[in-house]
């Protein structure tokens, strides 16, 4: 990414199983464009989230309303390809790190919310070393008692940061960001397990696993207790093959009618 020029947003919206996803020539430029346009929400879409959106209308509505939906997973890229749309996979963790670099270079104020307390501590230590000029104005781990959240939210929205990363897991992080981002000038983005990787407590799949499109297998082997989540993947592939990749979620069909691309 050329961090000295934002470039045009250059963004076209498509749908995978009725869930929107944007094709952009340069995702980082498009993300910076969200800030230039007055702020908004970025969602990073993979097969698992696509399936979650099909059974969770609130999540589906958040993705529909997002300013930028990035093709984060190989499954989404594959489903788009079946429609004749060729995009590169844009892992959310890489986009998020690009945005941090941009934020440092452009003196953006940054807030980080989520992950375990020790992860947040280690992440801040790493950022102090690697991004020493970063204006980190707010950081909070994600395991607060329920009654502590309203105060935290008020403090955060008062700060109105340029960039807010939320690591609370899907769909909570997307719903939370959507609720708080209104009237805010910044970019809000759910980053899943990125803080754990940046802090060094979890490993990202190696390049070869990404190339073979088996990153999910690597993650599964790291956390086999989450096997249930991976059932969404064959279901996704099956749904795309049987129904065609653009089909809308059944629950939204009646309300929104047929969408013509
Ligand atoms: N997380 C959190 N509070 C919670 C649940 C999760 O801060 O109540 C954090 C968790 O520690 C991790 C991140 O959210 O850093 C993403 O969690 P997970 O890997 O489960 O999310 P997903 O795979 O859905 O993105």
> Phi and psi (nearest 5°) for 205?
-60, 145
Largest pairwise CA distance in the chain: 53
Q: How do residues 168-188 score in pLDDT, each as one tens digit? A: 999 999 999 999 998 899 999
Number of structural domains (the chain) is 1
Whether residue 3 lies inside any domain: the answer is: no
Whether residue 100 lies inside any domain: the answer is: yes
Is the whole model's pTM more than 0.85, yes or no?
yes
Decide if 184 contacts 157 (C-beta within 8 A). Answer: yes
Residue 215, burial from CB neighbour count under 10 angstroms (0-12, 13-18, 19+): buried
Query: Does the Cβ of 72 fall within 6 Å of ligand 1?
Result: no
Q: How do residues 79-116 score in pLDDT, each as one tens digit? A: 999 999 999 999 999 999 999 999 999 999 999 999 99
Rg over CA atoms, the chain: 18
pLDDT at residue 8, rounded to an integer = 56
Query: Does the Cβ of 143 fall within 6 Å of ligand 1?
Result: yes
Give the mean pLDDT of 210-219. 80
15: left (phi over 0), alpha (psi -120 to 50) or beta: beta
Residue 44, burial from CB neighbour count under 10 angstroms (0-12, 13-18, 19+): buried
pLDDT at residue 27 is higher than 50: yes
Grade residue 252 by pLDDT with cuts at 50, 70 and 90: very low
Return the best residue to mutate from 119, 169, 196 for the ligand 1 pocket (most ligand atoms within 8 A of CB): 169
What CA–CA distance (Å, rounded) separates 57 from 35?
27
- What is the domain-level CATH number for residue 115? 3.40.50
Nearest to 78 by CA among 16, 3, 167, 137: 16
Whether residue 255 lies inside any domain: the answer is: no
Query: Does the Cβ of 116 fall within 6 Å of ligand 1?
Result: yes
pLDDT at residue 261, rounded to an integer = 30
Whether residue 238 lies inside any domain: the answer is: no
Whether residue 260 lies inside any domain: the answer is: no
Whether residue 182 lies inside any domain: the answer is: yes
Whether residue 209 lies inside any domain: the answer is: no
Whether residue 194 lies inside any domain: the answer is: yes
Give the mean pLDDT of 197-221. 86
Q: Which two tokens stand for residue 141?
A: 């781990």
Nearest to 236 by CA among 254, 258, 213: 213
Return the best residue to mutate from 43, 114, 121, 232 for the ligand 1 pocket (most ligand atoms within 8 A of CB): 114
Contact residues for 12 (Cβ-Cβ < 8 A; gap 6+) = 22, 23, 24
Cis preceding linkage at 136, omega within 30: no
The DSSP H or E segment spanning 167 is strand 163-167
- Residue 79's domain spans which residues? 13-202
């Amino acid at each position: 990414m050329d961090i000295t020029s934002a470039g045009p947003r250059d963004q076209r919206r498509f749908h995978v199983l009725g869930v929107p996803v944007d094709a952009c020539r340069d995702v980082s430029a498009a993300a910076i464009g969200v800030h230039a346009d007055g702020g908004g929400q970025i969602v990073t879409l993979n097969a698992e989230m696509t399936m979650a959106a099909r059974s969770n209308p609130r999540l589906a509505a958040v993705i529909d309303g997002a300013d930028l939906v990035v093709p984060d997973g190989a499954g989404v890229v594959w489903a788009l390809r079946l429609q004749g749309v060729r995009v590169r996979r844009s892992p959310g963790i890489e986009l998020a790190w690009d945005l941090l670099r941009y934020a440092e270079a452009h003196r953006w104020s940054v807030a980080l919310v989520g992950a375990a307390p020790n992860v947040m501590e280690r992440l801040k230590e790493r950022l102090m070393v690697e991004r020493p000029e970063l204006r980190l104005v707010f950081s909070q781990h994600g395991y607060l008692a329920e009654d502590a959240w309203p105060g935290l939210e008020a403090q955060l929205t008062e700060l109105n940061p340029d960039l807010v990363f939320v690591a609370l897991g899907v769909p909570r992080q997307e719903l939370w960001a959507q609720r708080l981002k209104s009237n805010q000038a910044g970019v809000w983005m759910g980053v899943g397990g990125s803080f754990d990787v940046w802090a060094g407590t979890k490993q990202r799949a190696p390049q070869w696993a990404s190339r073979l499109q088996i990153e999910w297998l690597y993650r599964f082997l790291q956390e086999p207790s989450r096997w249930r989540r991976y059932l969404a993947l064959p279901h996704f592939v099956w749904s795309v093959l049987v129904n065609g990749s653009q089909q809308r979620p059944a629950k939204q069909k009646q309300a929104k009618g047929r969408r013509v691309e």
